[in-house]
A and B are shown apart, each in its own frame.
Chain A
Amino acid sequence: MSNASGNAYALTTLCPITNGAILDDQGNETEAHDKVVRRLLQDIPLNEGSFFAEVDNTYFARLFILNDVFFQQGNEFEQDHLKSKYLCFNSNFHGDLEPYLESMWNNCEPQVRSIWQHCVGFNLVNSAHEFITYIKACQLKTTLFFNGSNDESLTKQLKALYVKQIFSEFVLTQQGKSASETKQNFKYFLQRVQLNNLQSPSWKPGQSELKP
C-alpha cells in the first residue's frame, strides 16, 4: 500500500479553496479566501510554536497553496488552468490515518478551523469524524513513497535523539577514567536519561535548539 512504508504514513491532500471573496455581514465582498489562507499559513509560528507540534506523531508537515498549474512554455504544450486554488496539506507521520486526523482535530481544532474554513464545504465539518471524512475526500493516493529514515514512533525518535545527545557527550567525559568510575558514572547516566521512559526526559516536538 503505497501511502505507507511500514508504520510511516504519507498523507497527500489537495483541499479546494472556496473561490471568490469572503462576504461580510452586509453581504459585501472583503478579501479573497485564498489570500486570507496564505496569510494565515505564513503567520503560523515555526518549529515548537507550530500547532503541528501538538499533533501526535507528526514527523513532517507542510501547508502551501497551489494557485495554478504551470504552463511549460512553448508551442508544443497545452495551457492548463485550475478552476480553483487548492490548499495542499501533506504530512509524514507514524501510525494510521484515522487516529492521526482525530488527534489533529482534538488537539488543534481552532487552528484547523481557522485555516480550513476557507475550503469548499468545510462549514459542514463539526467533529473529528467529519474532519476525517473531509480529509479523506481530499486525499490523493501516494504512488511511490520513499522512506529514507525509519518508521518508529515520534516519541521514540525524539527520545533516541535526546539519548544520543547526552550519550555522545557522556563518552567524551569518561575517556581515561578508571573502570569503577566509568561504571558508576554510566549508572548515573542511565538514571539521568531513563531509557525505559520514552516520554521523558526527551526532546520536544519541533525543538529548534539543543538544551543542555
Chain B
Amino acid sequence: MSNTAGKAYAMNVITPIPWWKAIWQWVIFNAVIYLPTFLKGLINLSLIHYARWTLIGRNSFPHLGPNQPKEDLHYSYMMFESNFNGSWDQYIDSFSFAIPSGLDMFWRHNVGYPKSIPLHGFYDYIRFNQVETDHYYNAYPCAAANDVKTAISLFDNLKDFSEQLSSLDDDEFLVAYNEFLNDNQASLGSMGIAPGAANE
C-alpha cells in the first residue's frame, strides 16, 4: 500500500451527499470556476499538483452487465482526489488554517460533515472517509508542484536566452547572463528528494 510516491501524497476521500443536495453542490462546483476567491487560496497554497471532485449520482455507479447487481443507494457520493506535497497532517492543517470557508463550501452538504473549524472534527471526518491507495505512481517523485512550475518557467526562459548567445560578445554576454539570473532567481532552488516523513 502506498499513499506516497516521493514528494507527493495520494488522498482519496468518498463521502455521501443527499441526491437533492448533490445538485446544488454541482452548481457550486461549476460556479467556483468563476469565483476567484476560493481558487486564489488554493493557488497560493501551491501544494497541489492536480486535484478533482467528482459527484457520483446514486444511480450512476458504472453498471456493465446483467451479472453485476445494480446498486441501490440512498445517497449520492462525492469523491475527492488530490495529489499534493507534504504529509497528511501538514496538508489538512494548511487548508484548514488558510481557507476554512472554502473547505466548508465544498463539503458543507455532505452527510455528517462538521465544519472545518474546530480542526479535529474536520480531521476526523476526512480520515474516517479516506480510502487508502493501493498503488500510486508519480512521474516525478523528486519534484513538488513548485519544482515543476519553476522548472517550466526556467526552461522556457533559458530557450529564449540561449537564442541570443551568438549575437553577444563576452562582456555583453556576462551582462545578459547576470540579468537572466536576476530575472530567474526564484527558479534556482536546489533539487532533491522528499524530506523525511512522519509516520502516518
State whether A148 touches B143 (Cβ < 8 A): no
B-contacting residues, A46-85, CB 8 Å:
46-47, 50, 52-53, 58-66, 69-70, 72-74, 77-78, 80, 82-84
State whether B134 touches A65 (Cβ < 8 A): yes
State whether B69 touches A149 (Cβ < 8 A): no
B29-59 vs A, CB cutoff 8 Å, 1 = contact: the mask equals 1101100000100110011111111111000
CA A143 to CA B51, docked complex, whole Å: 11
Q: Which residues of A contact B155 (CB under 8 A)?
A: 156, 159-160, 163-164, 195
State whether A63 touches B50 (Cβ < 8 A): no
Q: Which residues of B contact A72 (CB under 8 A)?
A: 16, 111-112
Q: Which residues of A contact B141 (CB under 8 A)?
A: 47, 206-208
Asked if A129 is an interface residue, CB under 8 A from chain B, the answer is no
B-contacting residues, A183-206, CB 8 Å:
183, 186-187, 190, 195, 203, 205-206
Closest to B147 in A: A161
Task: Report which of A8, A10, A150, A163 forms a contact with B158, defined as CB distance below 8 A.
Answer: A163
State whether A206 touches B56 (Cβ < 8 A): no
Q: How many A residues are at the interface, by size bracket?
A: 35 or more
Asked if B187 is an interface residue, CB under 8 A from chain A, the answer is yes
State whether A88 touches B12 (Cβ < 8 A): yes
State whether A82 touches B158 (Cβ < 8 A): no
Task: Report which of B50, B67, B171 forms a contact with A149, defined as CB distance below 8 A.
Answer: B50
State whether B140 touches A161 (Cβ < 8 A): yes
B61-102 vs A, CB cutoff 8 Å, 1 = contact: the mask equals 111110111111111010101010000000000000000000
Q: How far, in Å, is B60 (CB) from chain A's closest CB? A: 7
CA A186 to CA B168, docked complex, whole Å: 13
State whether A179 touches B152 (Cβ < 8 A): no
Q: How far, in Å, is A55 (CB) from chain B's closest CB? A: 9
CA A150 to CA B155, docked complex, whole Å: 14
Q: How many B residues are at the interface, by size bracket?
A: 35 or more
State whether B149 touches A12 (Cβ < 8 A): no
Q: Which residues of B contact A203 (CB under 8 A)?
A: 140, 142
A133-169 vs B, CB cutoff 8 Å, 1 = contact: the mask equals 0000111111111111110101011111101110111
With A44-B135, A92-B83, A163-B151 known as contacts, the answer to whether A16 contacts B51 (CB < 8 A) is: no
CA A145 to CA B52, docked complex, whole Å: 4
Q: How far, in Å, is A178 (CB) from chain B's closest CB? A: 8
Q: How far, in Å, is B145 (CB) from chain A's closest CB? A: 5
Q: Which residues of B contact A14 (CB under 8 A)?
A: 56, 61-62
Task: Report which of B15, B42, B47, B64 forms a contact with A121, defined as CB distance below 8 A.
Answer: B64
Q: Which residues of B contact A156 (CB under 8 A)?
A: 152, 155
State whether B134 touches A80 (Cβ < 8 A): no
State whether B50 touches A137 (Cβ < 8 A): no
Q: Which residues of A contact B56 (CB under 8 A)?
A: 14, 140
B-contacting residues, A104-124, CB 8 Å:
119-121
Q: Which residues of B contact A103 (CB under 8 A)?
A: none
CA A144 to CA B140, docked complex, whole Å: 24
Give 14 A-B contacts (CB < 8 Å), ordered by A residue. Answer: A52-B137, A60-B136, A143-B55, A144-B53, A157-B139, A157-B151, A157-B152, A160-B155, A161-B191, A168-B189, A169-B190, A179-B170, A186-B173, A203-B142
Question: Given A143-B52, A160-B155, A171-B181, 7 more contacts at CB 8 Å?
Answer: A46-B5, A60-B49, A62-B136, A83-B69, A120-B65, A140-B54, A157-B151
A residues at B contact (CB < 8 Å): 2, 8, 10, 12-16, 18-19, 38, 41-42, 44, 46-47, 50, 52-53, 58-66, 69-70, 72-74, 77-78, 80, 82-84, 86, 88, 90, 92, 119-121, 137-150, 152, 154, 156-161, 163-165, 167-169, 171, 178-180, 182-183, 186-187, 190, 195, 203, 205-210
Pairs of residues from A and B, 8 with the lowest C-beta to C-beta distance, nearest first: A72-B112, A148-B48, A41-B134, A160-B155, A179-B174, A160-B151, A52-B137, A78-B74
